[in-house]
Amino acid sequence: MKKDNETMILAIETSCDETAVAILRDGVKLEANVVASQIESHQRFGGVVPELASRHHVEQMTIVLEEAFRQADMTMDEIDVVAVTEGPGLVGALLVGISTAKALAFAHQKRLVGVHHIAGHIYANRLQEEFQFPIIALVVSGGHTELILMKEHGLFEVLGETRDDAAGEAYDKVARTMGLPYPGGPEVDRLAQLGQDTLAFPRAWLEEDSFDFSFSGLKSAVINTLHNAKQKGIELKQEDIAASFQASIVDVLVEKTFRAAQQYKAKQVLLAGGVAANRGLRTAITTKFADQNIVLSIPPLWLCTDNAAMIGAAAMIAYQKGNQADWTLNANPGLDLEMYGKR
Ligand code: KG4
Ligand code: ZN
């Protein structure tokens, strides 16, 4: 049951290949969290097929919604805010969530709030512990690699970002060349645990003071190494390729995050996004910050990959700032994080 002074948020996420609905009390306490993954449907194509994703979202949405209300033992009457991922993401996929949110909010006369997907990944951490500013957030997912400075709730300053591939994208492409199934990140991570960093792949540090990233050179180096070995009939250990690739990515991510934390005197450092599930990254960043007087937040695995709980957590802040969307709310595949924060 909901008390009068509490805010109940129904959150919907459909930006990529998970249909997800969550119900949150005051944006921090989860009452329901349901995620329907479509990974199996996309696997035989080696990546997410946008048309297929949209169709799956349409098929799954009502089922996932009903399951969330069942888990929370609530009805729409008790909901105050309907929150939904507005962007970035696949336009057709986003539209399914947005149409659902608008229909529910309109029919039941509730507030409608649009949420930035990356703000969601960051706010997944607030379901674990309260934020302490300034925060440095390392966002690493299939579509994003960014170092973000937050001085207060809901405001985001992008210190650096990838100049080419996102970290997850590099993982998925390397995995595909290695003949591993989609999504490749978890597979490469698993193999990396069993191998050694023997191949000394390049680390792209870029300019000395830059917080930007670049992974395309590394990706090409791995792919070239694989092709050359194949041509010469040399057998490389899959585990060592994975471990060497992972060491190169993780080194750069952790070092730049550490430098940003020092430069901006961070009180908290947090990991966000699908690649935050990576065991190599989780271990390396924990070691690097072990003797620092900084809170290091690493979400549990179920909060790293796409879910609606994180969208609800970010929506609470947007709602408290008075950000209410109207019925013109639309999918915004290129939604800018800094602009979103300044609304
Ligand atoms: O955040 P997410 O679920 O979706 C996006 O918003 O992009 O991230 C998905 C990405 C995929 O590229 C996937 O391969 C990667 O996260 N990923 C991992 C691991 N688990 C998921 N990458 C490396 N190691 C992992 N354990
Ligand atoms: Zn995501």
Domain that holds residue 312: 8-123+304-341
Q: What is the pLDDT of residue 39?
A: 86
- Domain membership flag for residue 1: no
92 & 174 share domain: no
Has residue 203 been placed in a domain?
yes
**Distant-in-sequence, close-in-space partners of 343: CB < 8 Å, separation ≥ 6:** 318, 321, 323
- Together in a domain, 163 and 207: yes
**For ligand 2, a single-atom ion, which residues have Cβ within 5 Å?**
141, 306
Q: Ligand 1, residues 171, 172, 173, 177: which to mutate, most atoms within 8 A of Cβ?
A: 171
Residues 41 and 79 in one domain: yes
Residue segments in the chain with a per-residue pLDDT below the cut of 50: none
In a domain, 259, yes or no: yes
> Do 170 and 249 touch, CB atoms closer than 8 A?
yes
Among 263, 281, 298, give the residue marking a domain's end: 298
Alpha-carbon distance of 22 to 12, in angstroms, equals 7
**333/278 same-domain check:** no
Q: Can you tell me which residue has the tokens 């919907």?
A: 12
Per residue in 94-152, pLDDT tens? 999 999 999 999 999 999 999 999 999 999 999 999 999 999 999 999 999 999 999 99
pLDDT confidence of residue 326: 97
Is the same domain home to 166 and 278? yes
CATH code for position 323: 3.30.420.40
Q: Are residues 268 and 282 in the same domain?
A: yes
| Cα 5 to middle of ligand 2, angstroms | 31
Residues 105, 182 within the same domain: no
Same domain, 140 and 284: yes
Do residues 195 and 292 both lie within one domain? Answer: yes
Q: What span, in angstroms and rounded, lies between the C-alpha atoms of 313 and 332? A: 20
Query: Is 84 within the bounds of a domain?
Result: yes
In a domain, 2, yes or no: no
Whether the CB of 172 sits within 6 Å of ligand 1: yes
State whether 288 and 158 are in the same domain: yes
Position 3 in a domain? no
Residue 278 CA to ligand 2 center (angstroms) comes to: 14
Nearest atom within ligand 1 for CA of residue 306: 3
Do 138 and 116 have their domain in common?
Answer: no
* Rounded CA Rg of the chain: 20
Q: Are residues 115 and 205 in the same domain?
A: no
The number of domains in the chain is 2
Q: Is 189 in the pocket of ligand 1 (CB under 6 A)?
A: yes
Residue 314 lies in a domain: yes
By alpha-carbon position, which residue is closest to atom 23 of ligand 1?
Answer: 185
Q: Among 90, 141, 176, 337, which residue has the most ligand 1 atoms within 8 Å of its CB, making it the best to mutate? A: 141
CA–CA separation, 265 and 260 (whole Å) = 8
15 within domain boundaries: yes
